[in-house]
A and B are shown apart, each in its own frame.
Chain A
Amino acid sequence: MSKNLLEQFENYLLENLPQSKSFHPIFEKALQEMLSAGGKRFRPMLLLSIVNAEQSLLLKNAMPVALGLELLHTYSLIHDDLPAMDDADLRRGYPTLHKTYDEVTAILVGDALNTHSFNLIANAPLSAESRIELVKILSSDEIGQMSILINNNIDQVKENIKVDNELIKNKKPFLGVCLGMQLISKKSYENGETTGLGWVDAEVVKFDFVNTDKKLKIPHVGWNNVSFQKNNILFSDIEDNSDFYFVHSYHFTSNEDVINSTTDYGIDFISSVNKDNIFAFQFHPEKSQEVGLKILKNFVDLEYKC
């Protein structure tokens, strides 16, 4: 039965490959290539098997939805293989799309498949309620988007572990500047919530003067004093309270004993941290002329011994 089902689906797929009628020489070919390259068809088969068991009369009507699922899945694979992500050369034994053609084609084919999957579902011979529900489920955070995001994040996490190994185990010196400081926190609230590298127990929040009588402007742009809180090897030969250049709207908050300096902008916020081989500055040493270049020199001179 299931072999029959798979055959039915494969036939349906080949008859209904997405088309793109245009003068473009290769786009349509690229669009169809990865779909017809085979694969387990696990997602459409799961759906069709359930439909077959519960409502076998609806099997034909469910075909466009099954194809939509396969299109969405294929799109995620194509984008996943891109150089910016996995940078994979092969998929299902065939060269990946960006290898056969180019990156632009691979991105556009992915985009087209993503959109077309919803078009298929929206036009399926099912009740309007069912179609809306299907689109809702497939695009909801929990199932559709999230599964794609989660899969990609796993690769990202693997990448992070590599970096973590270099930094935490091998103690390679690290210098973070501005956003580079914010990244080492556990979480940032810039445009929503984003997980950081988590090397320091800290969070990144926006300056907030709403409930204060201070009318300070955001972003905090310009030169401001950096008050040393602790001896930091990178501050050697620099006068306490020297001016450094800042340009940011978000700042670090932390209770961990890593604070190296603070700066007064309505509040005394954390302007630099140091934890073992990790150094990070909210201000820009590279844009703070002599004192800034001194920090960079101190970093370069650092003979890190662990």
Chain B
Amino acid sequence: MLKHRVIPCVLLKDWQLVKSIGFESFRNIGHPTSTARIYNARNVDELIVLDIDASLHDEEINTEIITDIADECFMPLTIGGGINTIDDIYKVLNAGADKIAINSKALNNFEFIKQSSSIFGSQCIVCSIDVKNIDGKYKVYNKKYGLQEISPLELALKYQEYGAGEILLTSIDKEGSRNGYDIELIKIFKDKLEIPIILNGGMGKPEDAVAAIQNGADAIAAAYIFHFSQYTPNDIKDICLNNDILVRTI
């Protein structure tokens, strides 16, 4: 049977890996290659790295560092940030990534999703959606383009229709908060999508993963818990197993 995945999701900034709180203050978590090596040794299920320099400051995607990270990864690696053209996808895949996460570019250009998934296959294209809770209503938020009209679920369904293979759903309010995933948010998505959904933002303790998966997440992503708490990915999996959630154990 297919297992639920526990995935570290970290940010790349100034050649360092960082962890953000609410997308704003950044805390250094170490050198990319040594961090990737540790994750690999701990048998994490996947690794997601988002290059925030490339996405926010329109800088060139740092393929050099992606190659270094990929060299350490004998697990699947998803790279996001600054993907604007088909050529960018070629570059990042050639650097060693297995999947590509697209955010800003997809928002205004569903055709780009269609084009990229027809070239590289849906299994390679992850669409990333960031959500903010504004007065009790969930809104799609983009760092470049601000709040959007379309609802998070509608946007995810559009992405699915145009060929996305997975959705990476991040709650900005919960991101870095350590007080658990946005369960109300994931409930909206439960059983609505035909493609897997990775929930990101807020894990502070292993039980949070259980709640997220029970309410509809296919996989969970996190960063804080792996770097600034006593918990390891395996602690999270142990709690999942105790709650009859299938996860991979080594």
A224-B2 in contact (CB<8A): yes
Q: Which residues of A contact B5 (CB under 8 A)?
A: 222-223
Residue of B nearest to A178 (CB): B123
**For B195, what are the chain A residues with a Cβ–Cβ distance below 8 Å?**
217-219
> Does A265 contact B75, Cβ atoms closer than 8 Å?
no
Known: A249-B123, A287-B75, A289-B74. A217 touches B1 (CB 8 A): no
Which residues of the other chain, A, contact B30 by a CB distance below 8 angstroms? none
Tell me the minimal C-beta distance from A209 to chain B in angstroms. 9
Q: A163 an interface residue at 8 Å Cβ cutoff?
A: no
Question: What residues on B are CB-neighbors of A225 within 8 Å?
Answer: 1
- Contact call A286/B74, Cβ cutoff below 8 A: yes
> Is there an interface contact between A249 and B2, defined as CB atoms closer than 8 Å?
no
Given contacts A287-B76, A287-B98, A293-B74, whether A219 and B1 have CB atoms under 8 Å apart is no
Give Cα A221 to B4, complex, Å. 10
* Bound Cα distance from A224 to B4, whole angstroms: 10
Picked from B75, B191, B196, the residue with its CB within 8 Å of the CB of A219 is B196
The number of residues on chain A lying at the interface, defined by a beta carbon within 8 Å of a beta carbon of chain B, is 30
Which residues of B approach A to under 8 Å, CB–CB?
Answer: 1-5, 40, 43, 45, 73-76, 98-99, 118, 121-124, 165-166, 191, 193-196, 218-219, 248, 250
A249 lies within 8 A of B165 (CB): yes
Complex contact A224–B75 (CB within 8 A): no
Query: B73: which A residues are within 8 A, CB to CB?
Result: 287
Contact, CB under 8 Å: A223 / B3: yes
Q: How far is the CA of A249 from the CA of B40 in the complex (A)?
A: 26
Minimum distance in angstroms from A246 CB to a CB of chain B:
8
- Beta-carbon contact of B248 and A223 below 8 Å: yes
Give the distance in Å from the alpha carbon of A225 to the alpha carbon of B74 in the complex.
18
- Binary contact readout A190-232 vs B (1 if CB under 8 angstroms, 0 otherwise): 1100000000000000000000000111111111110000000
Q: Of A215, A221, A293, which one neighbours B165 at CB under 8 angstroms?
A: A221
Q: How many residue pairs at the A-B interface have CB separations less than 8 Å? A: 79
CB-based contact B74/A292 at 8 Å: yes
Complex CA distance for A269 and B9, rounded to whole angstroms: 31
Contact A222-B123, Cβ < 8 Å, known A243-B248, A247-B76: no
Q: Which residue of A lies closest to B166 (CB)?
A: A221
For B118, the chain A residues whose CB sits under 8 A away are 191
Instruction: Give A219 to B40 CA distance when docked, in angstroms.
Output: 24
> Would you mind naming 15 contact pairs between A and B with Cβ atoms under 8 Å apart?
A215-B191, A217-B193, A217-B218, A219-B123, A219-B165, A221-B123, A221-B165, A222-B219, A224-B1, A224-B3, A245-B76, A246-B2, A247-B165, A249-B121, A287-B75
A222 and B2 contacting across the interface, CB-CB below 8 Å? yes
Are A221 and B196 in contact, CB atoms less than 8 angstroms apart?
yes
A276 to B184, CA, bound (A): 54
Please measure, in the bound complex, the distance between the C-alpha atom of A225 and the C-alpha atom of B195, giving whole angstroms. 20
Q: Which listed residue, A190, A191, A223, A292, touches B45 by the CB 8 Å rule?
A: A223
Most central of A221, A224, A284 by chain B CB within 10 Å = A221
Q: Which residues of A contact B124 (CB under 8 A)?
A: 247
With a cutoff of 8 Å between Cβ atoms, the chain B residues found around residue A264 in the complex are 1
Query: Which residues of chain A from 228 to 265 have a CB within 8 Å of any chain B CB?
Result: 243, 245-249, 264-265
